[in-house]
């Protein structure tokens, strides 16, 4: 991708985030636990999607097939520790 395209994508992402964060805070201020769970699950899925498209292919090339097991173990450890 060209430098201009990359900057445009990141600029759009920053703009959308800058608008949606205060809007979401305003609209979901009184939301219950189910909405909080949905939003957190969506955000977690977004993080995993970003990792899967950017970091994981390179990690697999560098570390081989065992990297998948290490990644799953890391996510599981983070999940378990989040309840502590």
pLDDT in tens, 37-71: 888 888 888 888 888 788 888 888 888 888 888 88
Confidence of residue 84 (pLDDT cuts 50, 70, 90): low
Task: State how far the Cα of 64 lies from the Cα of 81, in Å rounded to an integer.
Answer: 27
Give the pLDDT score at 63: 84
How many other CB atoms sit within 10 Å of the CB of residue 2?
Answer: 7
Query: Is the dihedral angle over the CA atoms 58, 53, 4, 7 positive or is it negative?
Result: negative
Task: State how far the Cα of 34 lies from the Cα of 45, in Å rounded to an integer.
Answer: 16
Phi, psi of 4 (to 5 degrees): -65, -40
State mean pLDDT over 5-23.
95
């Amino acid at each position: 991708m060209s430098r201009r395209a990359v900057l445009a994508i990141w600029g759009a992402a920053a703009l959308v985030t800058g608008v949606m964060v205060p809007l979401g805070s305003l609209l979901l201020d009184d939301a219950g636990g189910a909405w909080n769970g949905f939003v957190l699950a969506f955000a977690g899925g977004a993080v995993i999607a970003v990792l899967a498209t950017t970091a994981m292919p390179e990690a697999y090339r560098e570390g081989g097939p065992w990297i998948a097991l290490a990644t799953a173990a890391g996510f599981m450890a983070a999940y378990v520790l989040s309840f502590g």
